[in-house]
């Protein structure tokens, strides 16, 4: 269910069109003004937000409704926050949905009026940059209204994220600038901000501020303010062993001095980025244990406590224990009481829009970096010049900022992200070179920018014009002369800054703007990769090779909300990176869908946790936690309802020849069995093929030994457990490309046209065909429908569309494969196809092996052994596939 807006984008434009025809408006509203008006109305009234899904423990007992009816809960803090959200321009539908969702979270926390000991553990799963901080700020406000008097927010592992989170808590909950409370001048201490402007009857006490993390001495001087806990006390701290140790020591000492006054208070702990360092982390194992233990000890100090972890990347050790399934459920931070999935509003600029729906509009491929700034480089990597793609991205940012100024958005902030190295020294060199580029452009505009058309004789201004023509010439509201007149004010304001753990690092201070918003080009690595928000982010240059889901998703700072400038946003990224983001989006979408299915089935968090831990994608996260062990370890993997494809194939010519012969043997065996072929447009289809024929084929075929999902042991074990029932008979499609210029080939007597597929550059250098780096697919959309009846296809499509409409979400042009693989009772489907690999780097064409055979398998739902099979993972092979666990060089100093 969604909180619905009464208007859609089309209905808004229809109404405006009707108004333009009325006599009083005739000729007064041109097309540009009509579209601008439609956008403004759509931003305010045309946005909807779903309420997400909830998986509850069996013992859930709601208390909030009765407490409100009995008048035992106020609304002071929430009312202030709601007014702030309205002032910020959030649509009413989104505010209403936030109100409902935060009620759902609060109802699952402990009732603060219940004086008996209790503890609650939960998790909220959102999307990257989708408003999780706003959600938990609302939860904090409502918890304070309900009677919680001690609230701790653990916000990331770096100071810049902690400071940013503190500032948001100041604005949304406290109502005062905590950075000024320690000011020597009393009149300077009381800067009212945010919610404080609406009602100043009381202010929460903060034991931390925007200038510094928790400090025992500072906290002790503030204990007199705590008094009898008439107002809430809040702390925003780093996820750092020393900080947690200091807090624990202070709480223990304070509770001794004050009897049990403090520890008897109901305590709420919000763990932002809960998958990072709480359990799952790339840092040393003893640090993981230490931080996790400290959080658990902090909770144990209080007779009544709640832990709520917020994350966008739930494929983490809070679900996936590094040793056994059973041990994971015993973890004190496991969300055993509730898991809530947050829906993003319909205007969310996420992976679906960036990499799928409008990829050609937003994504630009980086293909010129290898000789200048390789993806894999060392700390002493020189940066003498910049890749032309990075220079183009900088120019695009300058032009896009000018267009925003033309649109009247000059008071808003604008940012560009450059994340191309994990080393702070390399980041410093990049910042210096980018500053040189901006300086040259600035000098050119100062000298020639005001000369009208003649200015194009200047090569720097001409280059900006070329970028405008390539990227933004189709816009109707900003022609080049308008853009050119705004270039000077843009370039005077642009600042190129480092955001990292070095002494050169500068804070992204978005409060310094006056008549004009600030304009930043932020160069960094880890500090830009988790939690930190870049206001008005328009252009991103991303040159990283991590394949770990949580790392990649958190690096995607370009996700979020882009009101009034979404059409200007661009992301420069390698082709392989596009493929990984597309793949991860599908995995996350699958996870959210699974959460909703388990809600309908009234499943428990433990059952959902087991389902996540058996998800094929969990192999990546599990391997991450075992990278340093150098041994084999068991993982339970579920292939039920999944599409598995040989997206990675080794270029060994002898094995490729054996693969082809295995395909020929399969085609010959099927034909000899007398099964009659169908000939749909996609190739040659055989129905109800005995499983033994498939076993013979799969026992010979080899892809890449480092790809666990196509490992013959995993696939054969899974099939063997179901060969007498669910996987007894198969549909086999020998796929044939439909393009008129497709090359012909054959497996025995079965003729098949060859499909063209791109492969990744870096993998090809290592002798691996990483097929379709831009989509992570071997097959074509809709392949999974083969073997299904028209009624089955229509029913699955209708159900999916109705689900999306109920949630007020757009229906993607390409339907996800899972909706056809998950159809109960369908036969398993294997698709064989010939692939002719191509590579972007002509210098590597000699490494291409020619036409290769690949397969895809669509596994139906399963009830056998819970749908899982145990797979023994070798960490060396996993490291070969996913690379070393990337520990950010700049992060190390902040952990100790």
Of the residues 303, 338, 373, the one at which a domain ends: 338
pLDDT in the model for residue 216: 78
- For 630, the token pair is 């150098």
pLDDT in the model for residue 277: 46
Of the residues 288, 308, 338, the one at which a domain ends: 338
Comparing 191-195, 345-349, 797-801, the range with the smallest average pLDDT is 345-349
Residue 199 has pLDDT above 60, yes or no: yes
223 and 372 in a single domain? The answer is: no
Query: What is the pLDDT confidence band of residue 876, given thresholds at 50, 70 and 90?
Result: low
- For residue range 536-577, what is the model confidence (pLDDT) as tens digits? 889 989 887 655 555 666 566 667 667 788 889 998 988 777
**Antiparallel, parallel or unpaired: β 852-858 and 829-838:** antiparallel
427 and 544 in a single domain? The answer is: yes
Comparing 65-69, 469-473, 617-621, the range with the smallest average pLDDT is 617-621
Residue 402 located in a structural domain:
yes
pLDDT in the model for residue 324: 45
- For 595, the token pair is 């959460």
- For residue range 639-691, what is the model confidence (pLDDT) as tens digits? 888 899 998 899 999 999 999 999 999 999 999 999 999 999 899 999 999 99
pLDDT in the model for residue 566: 85
- For residue range 496-541, what is the model confidence (pLDDT) as tens digits? 999 886 778 777 777 766 678 999 999 988 766 555 678 888 998 9
pLDDT in the model for residue 287: 57
393 and 525 in a single domain? The answer is: yes
Beta bridge partners of 364: 572
676 and 819 in a single domain? The answer is: yes
Residue 608 located in a structural domain:
no
Residue 624 has pLDDT above 90, yes or no: no
Query: What is the pLDDT confidence band of residue 67, given thresholds at 50, 70 and 90?
Result: very high
Q: Which domain holds residue 825?
A: 634-882
15 and 132 in a single domain? The answer is: no
Please state the rounded mean pLDDT for residues 335-358.
75
541 and 676 in a single domain? The answer is: no
Element (H, E) at 768: strand 768-770
Residue 626 located in a structural domain:
no
pLDDT in the model for residue 267: 93
27 and 76 in a single domain? The answer is: no
Query: What is the pLDDT confidence band of residue 286, given thresholds at 50, 70 and 90?
Result: low
pTM over 0.85: no
Comparing 53-62, 205-214, 315-324, 776-785, the range with the smallest average pLDDT is 315-324
- For residue range 87-103, what is the model confidence (pLDDT) as tens digits? 887 878 788 889 999 99
pLDDT in the model for residue 278: 46
Dihedral pair phi/psi, residue 468, rounded to 5°: -60, -45
287 and 403 in a single domain? The answer is: no
Residue 790 located in a structural domain:
yes
372 and 318 in a single domain? The answer is: no
DSSP state of 355: I
Of 552 and 481, the structure prediction assigns the larger pLDDT to 481
Of 699 and 342, the structure prediction assigns the larger pLDDT to 699
- CATH code at position 152: 3.40.50
Instruction: Return all residues near 717 (Cβ < 8 A) that are at least 6 apart.
Output: 869, 870, 871
Please state the rounded mean pLDDT for residues 388-410.
95
Of the residues 276, 305, 338, the one at which a domain ends: 338
Residue 713 has pLDDT above 50, yes or no: yes
| DSSP, residue by residue, 243-254 | HHHHHHHHHHHH
Residue 202 located in a structural domain:
yes
668 and 760 in a single domain? The answer is: yes
Residue 837 has pLDDT above 50, yes or no: yes
Average pLDDT value for the chain: 82
Residue 890 located in a structural domain:
no
Residue 172 has pLDDT above 50, yes or no: yes
- For residue range 735-771, what is the model confidence (pLDDT) as tens digits? 999 888 899 999 999 999 999 998 888 788 889 898 8
- For 569, the token pair is 């946003």
> What per-residue string of b and e applies to 189-217 under the rule 16 or more CB within 10 Å gives b?
eeeebbbbeeeeeebbbbbbbbeebbbee
Of 762 and 790, the structure prediction assigns the larger pLDDT to 790
Dihedral pair phi/psi, residue 639, rounded to 5°: -105, 0
Rounded (10°) angle between helices 9-21 and 31-45: 140
Please state the rounded mean pLDDT for residues 477-482.
92
pLDDT in the model for residue 515: 76
pLDDT in the model for residue 482: 95
Residue 104 located in a structural domain:
no
Of 229 and 464, the structure prediction assigns the larger pLDDT to 464
Residue 736 located in a structural domain:
yes
Residue 884 has pLDDT above 60, yes or no: no
Residue 325 has pLDDT above 50, yes or no: no
Residue 605 has pLDDT above 90, yes or no: no
pLDDT in the model for residue 322: 44
Domain count, the chain: 4
Comparing 400-409, 545-554, 713-722, 738-747, the range with the smallest average pLDDT is 545-554
Measuring CA to CA, which residue among 206, 202, 224 is closest to residue 215?
206
Beta bridge partners of 729: 690
Which residue's entry shows tokens 């990499």?
355
Strand order in the sheet with 414-419: 363-365, 570-573, 537-542, 414-419, 519-524, 494-499
pLDDT in the model for residue 93: 79
730 and 824 in a single domain? The answer is: yes
pLDDT in the model for residue 39: 64
720 and 653 in a single domain? The answer is: yes
Sign of CA dihedral 255, 261, 263, 269: negative
């Amino acid at each position: 269910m969604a909180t619905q807006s009464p208007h859609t984008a089309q209905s808004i434009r229809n109404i405006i069109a009707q108004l333009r025809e009325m006599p009083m408006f005739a000729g007064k509203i041109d097309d540009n003004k009509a579209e601008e008006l439609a956008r403004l109305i759509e931003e305010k009234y045309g946005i909807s937000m779903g309420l997400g899904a909830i998986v509850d423990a069996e013992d859930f007992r709601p208390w909030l409704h009765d407490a409100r009816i009995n008048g035992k809960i106020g609304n002071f803090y929430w009312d202030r926050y709601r007014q702030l959200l309205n002032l910020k321009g959030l649509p009413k539908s989104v505010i209403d949905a936030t109100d409902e969702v935060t009620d759902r979270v609060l109802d699952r926390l402990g009732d603060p009026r219940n004086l008996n000991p209790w503890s609650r553990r939960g998790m909220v799963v959102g999307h990257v940059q989708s408003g999780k901080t706003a959600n938990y700020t609302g939860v904090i406000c409502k918890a304070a209204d309900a009677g919680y008097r001690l609230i701790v927010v653990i916000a990331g592992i770096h100071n810049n994220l902690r400071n940013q989170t503190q500032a948001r808590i100041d604005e949304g909950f406290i109502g005062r600038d905590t950075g000024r409370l320690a000011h020597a001048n009393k009149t300077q201490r009381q800067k009212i901000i945010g919610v404080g402007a609406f009602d100043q009857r009381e202010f929460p006490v903060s034991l931390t501020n925007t200038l510094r993390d928790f400090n025992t001495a500072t906290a002790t001087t503030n204990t007199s303010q705590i008094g009898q806990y008439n107002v809430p006390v809040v702390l925003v701290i780093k996820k750092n062993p020393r900080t947690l140790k200091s807090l624990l020591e202070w709480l223990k000492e304070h509770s001794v001095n004050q009897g049990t006054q403090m520890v008897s208070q109901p305590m709420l702990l919000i763990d932002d980025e809960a998958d990072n360092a709480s359990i799952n982390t790339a840092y040393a194992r003893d640090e993981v244990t230490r931080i996790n233990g400290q959080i658990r000890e902090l909770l144990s100090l209080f007779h009544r406590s709640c832990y709520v972890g917020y994350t966008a990347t739930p494929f983490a050790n809070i679900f996936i224990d590094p040793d056994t399934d059973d041990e994971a459920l015993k973890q004190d931070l496991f969300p055993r009481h509730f898991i809530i999935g947050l829906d993003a509003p319909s205007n969310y600029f996420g992976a679906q829009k960036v990499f799928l729906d409008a990829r050609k509009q937003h994504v630009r491929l980086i293909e010129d970096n290898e000789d200048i700034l390789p993806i894999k480089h060392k700390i002493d990597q020189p940066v003498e010049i910049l890749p032309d793609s990075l220079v183009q991205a900088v120019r695009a940012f300058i032009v896009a900022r000018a267009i925003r100024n033309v649109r009247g958005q000059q008071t808003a902030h604008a940012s560009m992200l450059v994340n191309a190295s994990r080393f702070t020294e390399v980041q410093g060199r990049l910042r210096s070179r980018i500053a040189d580029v901006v300086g040259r452009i600035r000098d050119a505009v100062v000298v020639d920018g005001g000369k009208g058309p003649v200015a194009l004789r200047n090569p720097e201004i001409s280059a900006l014009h070329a970028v405008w023509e390539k990227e933004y010439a189709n816009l109707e509201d900003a022609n080049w002369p308008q853009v050119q007149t705004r270039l000077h004010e843009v370039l005077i304001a642009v600042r190129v800054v480092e955001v990292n753990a070095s002494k050169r690092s500068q804070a992204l201070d978005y409060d310094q703007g006056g008549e004009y918003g600030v304009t930043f080009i932020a160069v960094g690595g880890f500090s830009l990769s988790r939690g930190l928000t870049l206001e008005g982010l328009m252009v991103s240059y991303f040159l990283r090779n991590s394949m770990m889901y949580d790392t990649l998703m958190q690096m995607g700072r370009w996700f979020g909300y882009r009101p009034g400038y979404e059409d200007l946003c661009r992301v420069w990224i390698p082709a392989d990176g596009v493929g990984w983001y597309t793949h991860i989006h599908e995995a996350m979408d699958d996870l959210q869908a699974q959460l909703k299915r388990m809600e309908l089935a009234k499943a428990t968090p433990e059952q959902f946790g087991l389902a996540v831990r058996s998800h094929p994608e969990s192999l990546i996260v599990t391997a991450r936690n075992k990278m340093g062990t150098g041994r084999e370890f068991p993982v339970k993997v579920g292939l039920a309802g999944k599409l598995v494809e040989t997206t990675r194939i080794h270029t060994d010519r002898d094995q490729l020849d054996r693969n082809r012969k295995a395909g020929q043997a399969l085609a010959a065996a099927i034909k000899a069995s007398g099964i009659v072929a169908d000939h749909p447009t996609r190739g040659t289809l055989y129905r109800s093929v005995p499983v033994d024929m498939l076993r013979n084929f799969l026992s010979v075929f080899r892809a890449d030994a480092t790809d666990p999902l196509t490992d013959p042991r995993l696939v054969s074990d899974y099939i063997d457990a179901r060969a007498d029932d669910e996987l007894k008979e198969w549909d086999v499609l020998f796929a044939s490309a439909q393009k008129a210029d497709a090359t012909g080939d054959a497996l025995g007597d079965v003729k098949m046209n060859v499909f063209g597929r791109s492969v990744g550059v870096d993998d090809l250098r290592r002798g691996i065909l990483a097929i379709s780096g831009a989509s992570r697919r071997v097959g074509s959309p809709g392949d999974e429908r083969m073997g299904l009846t028209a009624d089955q296809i229509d029913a699955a499509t209708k159900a999916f569309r109705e689900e999306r409409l109920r949630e007020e979400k757009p229906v993607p042009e390409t339907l996800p494969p899972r909706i056809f693989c998950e159809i109960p009772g369908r036969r398993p489907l294997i698709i064989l196809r010939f692939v002719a690999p191509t590579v972007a780097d002509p210098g590597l064409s000699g490494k291409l092996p020619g036409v290769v055979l690949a397969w895809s398998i669509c596994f139906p739902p399963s009830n056998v052994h819970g749908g899982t099979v145990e797979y023994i993972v070798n960490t060396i092979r996993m490291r070969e596939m996913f690379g070393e666990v990337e520990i950010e060089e700049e992060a190390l100093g902040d952990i100790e």
